[in-house]
Amino acid sequence: MSDLLGFVLSGLVSGALYALLATGLVLSYSASGLFNFAHGATAYLCALAFHELHSGFGLPAVPTAVLLVCAVAPALGLGLDRLMFRRLARVGETAQIVATIGLLVALPALGLWTVELLEDAGAPVRPAENQFGLPGVGPSPAVSWQVADGVGVDSDQLITWVATAAVALALWVLMRHTPLGLKLRATVDNRSLVELRGMSADRLSSIAWMLSSALAGLAGVLATPLLGLSAHDFTLFLFVSATAAVLGRFVSVPLAFAGGLGLGVLQNLVAGYAGFAERITGFRTAVPFLILFAGLLLLTRRGRTAGTAVVDAPPVDPQAGLPWSRRWGPWAAAAVLLGSSFYTVTTPFWSGLLAQGLALSLVFVSFTVVTGLGAMVSLAQATFVTGAALTAGLLMSHGWPFAAAAAAGTCAAAVLGGLAALPALRLGGRALALATLALAFLADQVLFQIGWLRNGDTGWPIPRPVLGPLDLNDDRALGVALTVLVTAAVASLGALRASPSGRAMLAVRSAPAAAMACGVSVVRTKLVLFTLSAGLAGFGGIMYASYNTRVTATDFTAMTGLVWLAVVVAAGLRRPQFAVVAGLVYVLVPQVVADHVTESPHLPVILFGLAGLALANDPDGYCAAVPVRMHRRRAARAGARAGAGGGGTDSAARAAGTAGEPAAGGGPLADGRPVAGPGAAAGASRAAPPAGPPAAPPAPPAAPAAPAAPAAPAAPALELLGVRAGYDGAPVLHGVDLVVRPGEILALLGPNGAGKSTACRVAAGLVAPLGGRVRLAGRDATRDDPVARSRAGVLLAPEGRGIFPSLTIEENLALYLPVRDQRDAVYERFPGLAGRRGVAAGSLSGGEQQMLALAPLLQRPPRVLVADEPSLGLAPRVVDEVFRLLAELRSGGTALLLVEEKATEVLRVADTVAYLAHGRVAWCGPRAAVEADRLTEAYLGLAAAARQVPGGTGTVEGQEPGPGGHVAPPRSGDGVRP
Amino acid sequence: MSRPIRTIAAVAAALLLAGACNSASTGGSPDEKGSAVRGVTDTSVKVGGIVSMTTASGYSKKDTDLGARARFDRANAEGGVHGRKIDYLGAQDDGQDPARNLAAARRLVQQDEVFAVAPMSSTTFSGADFLQKQRVPTFGWGTLPSFCGPSYIYGFGGCMVPMPGGTISQTWPEGLKKVMGGSAGRSVAILANDSDAGTFAIRTYRQSFASAGFEVTFAKASVPATSVPSDWSAYTKEILRSDGGKAPDAVVSVMQTPYNIGLFTAVKRTGYDGVLTDPTDYDPGLLTKSATRKALDGVHVLLSFQPFEQDSADMTRFRQDIRKAAGKEVPLNMHMMTGYMSADLFLAIAGKAGRNLTTASFQKAADGFSDTGTMVGDRAEPKGQKESFGCGALVRLKGDTYVVSAPFTCYPPIPFS
């Protein structure tokens, strides 16, 4: 029994460290959605800094620790967030995973390099190597107490427990009982809604990164006596604690915390009682990774299983459509040059390096299959390499010829790849990356520890093949042969991509469900991708081993695979030839740096790490960035020549092509008069808006039928003037003018795809217009982001429900109404909410959720409310209530822009009505001027034929506009006049 | 076949043909042109080293370079080898990375054109095959299998990895016998890491200790190999009950320093008062920290060279050489000794080779080379390429110094089965 107690107690020590790291992981993940592989490196950096400041500079332990945890580590987190994480949050998952892997190697190197430089400068630093038994915060050596028979506790353990408990308490108070914590949790729940509510999600995510970094720092300082200064150990520790983060599903801090503690105990119990595993070498070593793997499989929610192609949208391919010679010519020429260089210019040393780089390229090309084509991040490629090379070596030692052994080794790797694909059937994204990493560690620690397979530390000789007169023992001949092999691999992958199977792979990557519906087997495709990639990696590994002429089980470890992936992704995954560049760069750069820049081995490592930083800007890698950037520059030049001003570089070209649109800011806007009126509608269909009769919309609802009486209308609260907007190459709005005045409801009607939601998003600042202006209360707000818009009083109630589902009703209200009295007033008005204030908002019915979203606005009416389909999916009775609420807001002076498809209901409350069709305002006028068939016509986007449609006014919802209808031409503008 | 593929195939065939012609003509043999011997001039011999200095694990053998430099400096001060000064280029850092190890070997041979590589001290030696093929005499720490067998590769203390059909050095159990006053009726427990290397170590030392007369009551490779356990109670409990419910007379750890610190601290906390011993913790740097000093206090450490605490003319000279090379007084450690003695073995054989220094003459001199009474004992080649020289000592950490507990002696090895 005391055994058990002892195991549990001391298991809580590593458990506490796991908990700290896991909590940090969850915080940073929820802040920017990326799994920070470099979290352990941050901890290491703090441990190193603690060692240098405390032992080297002689600063006292506790103040140093406080300084590091409360100031230095948060500053590091803030800096990284600003430089990198913030931008990474907007790129694809592969780039996210890889960028932090770059940091994982770069941060420790940076720390060690700093120490090296300080030492050269004569500072009293201590060497960072061979340091054991380092002092922590407490007394050194640690004081120990015997609690019970066989159960001991020492001061370092005690400090870890106390510090962790204090942090747990502080985090709980912060997250549950402070406004900041509430906002942080809201950000986790719905980042964009947080911005729409006027809170800067960027600032909140900076805070989360600072907290996360501080926790890593604390773990680093506490772990110093245990782990010493081994960056490797800190990283391993982090991977284990990832299990706890998985347990918290990367969002729940308390679960992750508890998971960390439990993990430490579990690990200790297995170590204590795993007598059954004694015959399996490496089993105990592998326990944490077994737990990680099992945890991922069991606990990860089945989500998107293939890649993350939705956010991984392929970039514009500037070379698309070019002839074969233009696309491949430069690469073919490079291959020929490289091949001939072996016999002309390179010295033996550089020939050898080039051959090594080419062999590695074969391995690297395998990444473009599984990660490039399949969008599945595999961190187990090094395992396939080792497996293949060991198999081939084993067989060659039994007298097999090279070709047969290589084929067998490749098959062995393919089988391993098939095994590694099994988790991929269930997992995707970072969970899959972690699972393959766990498998890689398991293989290192168990599979490759099998004596007959690895042959001890000696490994197996892999003599280079001799093919007739071609003796590959000559580096130059090997180089040429590898050039040919690499070219063949690249060419066949290019062909594969263009083949039906390649298209099936891309289909599975972007939409597994749709691919399945088309008869593509997702399971088979994933298996094929993994097997193919593993086989290729294995074959590359055998070639690499034959370059070395030997393979040992420790030549390519899981960590090697991690670095490889970072190097390949930094170059680019979209094309196999980029991987070849990566292979050559990986081998050549360190030698070039050593020759010409510095002898310090840290610099190349830092350079590779910084390549991850570059990913934040060019998520498709530096190779892909070159043609894209050149293309952009060309396009910009072309755009400049075409004389189309304004817009970005891309939009310039577009603007040139669509010059027929009304110029922003021209025509009726010049005289400052509002344009929402028949003139604008007419103008929209013609090239230039005419200066038609000014028809100011009726501002006061009292005089809806008096458009020609602009008697002292209130100043517009929100104006969209000639707004053009769209999404990456797809224009949606072609010059929209809308004006909303205080105390007025402008209903925006139109068919699906007319651009209603885009107009709302432009109004709220979520989409920056390509042209035109947005004015708030007469002030130009075009450049303002959502946060600034929201602070200026514009509130967007987005499509769906504008609530935070994980927060309680009370917390949802508190985000908008910090004062308790105001919340009480809401409860008074809506007693249904009052009874359930502690209930998570996500569990409310749709109608209740919408009421919850709108109710607090009555207490603090915004200047402008932009409501995107507030009645969507609600029961008729609730719809009535919603519209009553909106009308109430209007009488409170709020200007409302109301997007609706339920035209009948909205016409009852609207003061002004605008029809949007094909990104243009087809008609705008007072409600009273709305004619039933005009509504139908505009709504359906039909031409004059629409007049035959029997007068359905509110029943057209859901119908698609006819294919022929380009722009609803107004009937000569007469019907607008009352 | 489409046109592009045909083009590629044609170019590939042409390239391969060119490669075949050229490789056939050069035959891929190591480049030794005419009379000029790589790295040897009338007045100098070029030598370079490979050492793992920076690593992710925080373990470094940096000072190996200093040790080698110290030895070469003295040789040059004494006039060099047969009139040739040693042009020591310093050591390349391989970062414990197999790829960089090979690249460093290639750079030394192909770019810097050294005659020999000394010292080579790392946890990986993937450059071994290349150096052997290029006929580069290489000297280093024989803890890797590559030091056992290849004719151009020499361990400064011999080959320290027991090979099938080879022998096991008995320095550890024999030394321990001196400490414990014999082996009869004494029980030992051996603990290693849960990895193939650990399993191998268990197999070796179980035989070694048993044949010296110890009773091996516990021998397991069960400690996780990738990270140091935060808690040792699971292991200590098993060990301390292994001798029929009692604690064994000696606990033998075949692990690295961080593990030993944890294990020995935990064992001592239970009140264990038997003998503790390991083969890695002879590092005076450990004495500078109170935590390590306390954890390792009383531990007997095995070393395969003469302890710094044992006075001899050689040791005095070693101290002086290191001080001179470092430019200041530095604490000695075993990496310095590794570098120093690697260089020393090279110099001794080169001296025997005579004025006409070529790879062939060097190898000829090595074949049948022997001397006695060095800081690593009695050296002999090619015996050293099959087994270790079999000499060692135990030192005990007491207070804040190491004390010799079993003086440096050579013992006859036993056959490895």
CA distance to partner chain A, nearest, from residue B245 (Å): 15
Whether residue A378 sits in one domain with residue A517: yes
Q: Which of B18, B56, B103 sits opposite A343 (nearest CB)?
A: B18
Whether residue A390 sits in one domain with residue A253: no
Whether residue A256 sits in one domain with residue A123: yes
Instruction: Decide: A491 and B5 in contact? Cβ < 8 Å.
Output: yes
B54 and A129 within 8 Å at the Cβ level: the answer is: yes
CATH match of B44-165+313-386 with 3.40.50.2300: yes
The reply to whether B170-303+392-415 shares the fold of B44-165+313-386 is yes
B291 and A142 within 8 Å at the Cβ level: the answer is: yes
A129 and B28 within 8 Å at the Cβ level: the answer is: no
Containing structural domain, residue A362 = 349-558
Cα B352 to Cα B334: distance, rounded to the nearest angstrom: 27
User: Percent of chain A having pLDDT more than 70?
Assistant: 84
A271 and B126 within 8 Å at the Cβ level: the answer is: no
**Residues in contact with B282: Cβ distance below 8 Å, sequence separation at least 6, in sequence order:** B301, B302, B303, B307, B333, B334, B395, B402
The per-residue pLDDT for range A39-80, each reduced to its tens digit, is: 999 999 999 999 999 988 999 999 999 999 999 999 999 998
Pull the structure tokens for residue B347.
């110099």
Q: Which of A269-278, A324-333, A664-673, A891-900 has the highest mean pLDDT?
A: A891-900
pTM value is: 0.83
Cα A288 to Cα A284: distance, rounded to the nearest angstrom: 8
**Residues in contact with B391: Cβ distance below 8 Å, sequence separation at least 6, in sequence order:** B157, B171, B304, B305, B376, B377, B378, B408, B409, B410, B411
Closest residue on chain A to B13 (Cα):
A484
Shortest CA distance to A100 belongs to which of A623, A621, A620, A610?
Answer: A610
Shortest CA distance to A5 belongs to which of A296, A269, A391?
Answer: A269
Cα B298 to Cα A955: distance, rounded to the nearest angstrom: 92
**Residues in contact with A88: Cβ distance below 8 Å, sequence separation at least 6, in sequence order:** A32, A34, A95, A96, A99, A615, A616
Neighbours of A321 (CB within 10 A): 8
Closest residue on chain B to A160 (Cα):
B230
Cβ-count burial B110-141 (b if 16+ within 10 Å, e if not): bbbbbbbbbbbbbbbbbbbbbbbbbbbbbbbb
Give chain A's end-to-end CA distance (angstroms, integer). 92
The per-residue pLDDT for range A805-834, each reduced to its tens digit, is: 888 888 888 888 888 888 888 888 888 888
B234 and A7 within 8 Å at the Cβ level: the answer is: yes
Q: What is the DSSP letter of A553?
A: T
Residue A316: pLDDT band (50, 70, 90) is low
Give chain B's end-to-end CA distance (angstroms, integer). 60
**Residues in contact with A898: Cβ distance below 8 Å, sequence separation at least 6, in sequence order:** A745, A746, A747, A748, A867, A870, A886, A906, A909, A910
CA distance to partner chain A, nearest, from residue B83 (Å): 30
Rg (CA), chain A: 32
Question: Which chain B residues are Cβ-neighbours of A472 within 8 angstroms?
Answer: 23
CA distance to partner chain A, nearest, from residue B370 (Å): 27
CATH code: domain of residue A785: 3.40.50.300
B98 and A480 within 8 Å at the Cβ level: the answer is: no
Domains of chain B, by residue range, sit at 44-165+313-386, 170-303+392-415
User: Percent of chain A having pLDDT more than 90?
Assistant: 19
Residues A540-558: what's their mean pLDDT? 92
pLDDT at A701: 40
Average pLDDT, chain A: 80
Alpha-carbon dihedral sign for residues A609, A614, A620, A622: negative
Whether residue A379 sits in one domain with residue A272: no
Give pLDDT < 70 ranges for chain B. Answer: 1-35
Q: Which of B99, B200, B286 sits opposite A132 (nearest CB)?
A: B286
Q: Which of A146, A152, A271 sits opposite B234 (nearest CB)?
A: A271
If one compares A975 and A159, the residue with the highest pLDDT of the two is A159
Task: Match 């179980």 to its residue by tokens.
Answer: B206
Question: Which chain A residues are Cβ-neighbours of B106 within 8 angstroms?
Answer: 349, 352-353
Phi and psi at residue B126, to the nearest 5°: -80, -5
Whether residue A26 sits in one domain with residue A172: yes
Q: Which of A474, A559, A590 sits opposite B23 (nearest CB)?
A: A474
Closest residue on chain A to B143 (Cα):
A457
A112 and B54 within 8 Å at the Cβ level: the answer is: yes
Cα A652 to Cα A665: distance, rounded to the nearest angstrom: 17
Instruction: Decide: B150 and B128 in contact? Cβ < 8 Å.
Output: yes
B19 and A445 within 8 Å at the Cβ level: the answer is: no
Cα A719 to Cα A665: distance, rounded to the nearest angstrom: 12
B23 and A472 within 8 Å at the Cβ level: the answer is: yes
Residue A736: strand pairing partners: A723
Cα A969 to Cα B54: distance, rounded to the nearest angstrom: 75
A550 and B294 within 8 Å at the Cβ level: the answer is: no
Instruction: Decide: A678 and A668 in contact? Cβ < 8 Å.
Output: no
Pull the structure tokens for residue B103.
């690249």
Question: Which chain A residues are Cβ-neighbours of B292 within 8 angstroms?
Answer: 132-133
Q: Which of A112, A471, A552 sits opposite B24 (nearest CB)?
A: A471
A227 and B227 within 8 Å at the Cβ level: the answer is: yes
Cα B111 to Cα A346: distance, rounded to the nearest angstrom: 12
Residues composing chain B: 417
Question: Which chain B residues are Cβ-neighbours of A356 within 8 angstroms?
Answer: 99, 102-103
What CATH architecture does domain B170-303+392-415 belong to? 3-Layer(aba) Sandwich (3.40)
Q: Is the pLDDT of residue A466 over 90?
A: no
Residue A145 in any domain: the answer is no
B129 and A461 within 8 Å at the Cβ level: the answer is: yes
Residue A415: pLDDT band (50, 70, 90) is very high
A353 and B103 within 8 Å at the Cβ level: the answer is: yes
CA distance to partner chain A, nearest, from residue B353 (Å): 29
Pull the structure tokens for residue A79.
């800096």
Mutate which of B125, B227, B255 to test chain A, going by most A C-beta atoms within 10 A?
B227
Q: Is the pLDDT of residue A953 over 50?
A: no
A348 and B31 within 8 Å at the Cβ level: the answer is: yes
B22 and A10 within 8 Å at the Cβ level: the answer is: no
A548 and B107 within 8 Å at the Cβ level: the answer is: no
Phi and psi at residue A465, to the nearest 5°: -70, 150
Closest residue on chain B to A357 (Cα):
B99
Q: Which of B8, B102, B196 sits opposite A449 (nearest CB)?
A: B196
pLDDT at A641: 67
pLDDT at B15: 56
Residues A633-641: what's their mean pLDDT? 73
The one-letter amino acid at A283? F
Instruction: Decide: B92 and B104 in contact? Cβ < 8 Å.
Output: yes
Q: Which of A243-257, A614-628, A684-698 has the lowest mean pLDDT?
A: A684-698
Q: Is the pLDDT of residue A956 over 70?
A: no
Tally the domains of chain A.
3
The per-residue pLDDT for range B372-393, each reduced to its tens digit, is: 989 999 999 888 998 889 899 9
Q: Which of A141, A235, A469 sits opposite B294 (nearest CB)?
A: A141
**Strand-strand pairing, B215-223 and B275-278:** unpaired
Q: How far is CA A323 from the centre of its chain?
A: 34
A548 and B22 within 8 Å at the Cβ level: the answer is: no
Cβ-count burial B189-218 (b if 16+ within 10 Å, e if not): bbbbbbbbbbbbbbbbbbbbbeebebebbb
Neighbours of A161 (CB within 10 A): 17
Mutate which of A130, A473, A478, A496 to test chain B, going by most B C-beta atoms within 10 A?
A130
A132 and B261 within 8 Å at the Cβ level: the answer is: yes
pLDDT at A937: 64
DSSP 3-state assignment of B89?
Answer: strand
Q: Is the peptide bond before B119 cis (omega within 30 degrees of 0)?
A: yes
Whether residue A265 sits in one domain with residue A395: no
DSSP 3-state assignment of A634?
Answer: helix
Mutate which of B230, B272, B282, B287 to test chain A, going by most A C-beta atoms within 10 A?
B230
Shortest CA distance to A420 belongs to which of A529, A345, A553?
Answer: A529
Residue A673: pLDDT band (50, 70, 90) is very low
Q: Which of A235, A477, A550 sits opposite B23 (nearest CB)?
A: A477
Whether residue A371 sits in one domain with residue A266: no
Q: Is the peptide bond before B382 cis (omega within 30 degrees of 0)?
A: yes
Q: What is the four-CA torsion angle of A565, A569, A571, A573, rounded to 10 degrees?
A: 110
| DSSP per-residue string spanning A395-446 | HHHTT--HHHHHHHHHHHHHHHHHHHHHHHTT--HHHHHHHHHHHHHHHHHT
Alpha-carbon dihedral sign for residues A685, A689, A693, A697: positive
CA distance to partner chain B, nearest, from residue A131 (Å): 7
Closest residue on chain A to B97 (Cα):
A555
Mutate which of A284, A390, A475 to test chain B, going by most B C-beta atoms within 10 A?
A284
Question: Which chain A residues are Cβ-neighbours of B220 within 8 angstroms?
Answer: 278
Closest residue on chain B to A555 (Cα):
B98
B126 and A231 within 8 Å at the Cβ level: the answer is: no
User: Counting one residue from A and one from B, how many pairs have CB atoms under 8 Å apart?
Assistant: 264
**Residues in contact with A273: Cβ distance below 8 Å, sequence separation at least 6, in sequence order:** none
Neighbours of A771 (CB within 10 A): 24
Closest residue on chain A to B7 (Cα):
A332
Residues A586-598: what's their mean pLDDT? 86
A612 to each of A87, A230, A238, how far by Cα in Å? 12, 22, 19
CA distance to partner chain B, nearest, from residue A555 (Å): 6
Cα A157 to Cα A152: distance, rounded to the nearest angstrom: 10
Instruction: Decide: A927 and A770 in contact? Cβ < 8 Å.
Output: no
Question: Which chain B residues are Cβ-neighbours of A285 within 8 angstroms?
Answer: 193-195, 224-226
Cα A417 to Cα A152: distance, rounded to the nearest angstrom: 46
Residue A551: pLDDT band (50, 70, 90) is very high
Residue A935: pLDDT band (50, 70, 90) is low
Whether residue A392 sits in one domain with residue A264: no
Q: Residue A753, by phi and psi: left (phi above 0), alpha (psi -120 to 50) or beta? A: left
Q: How many degrees, rounded to 5, is the angle at CA A117 between CA A213 and CA B324? A: 135
Mutate which of A10, A48, A132 to test chain B, going by most B C-beta atoms within 10 A?
A132
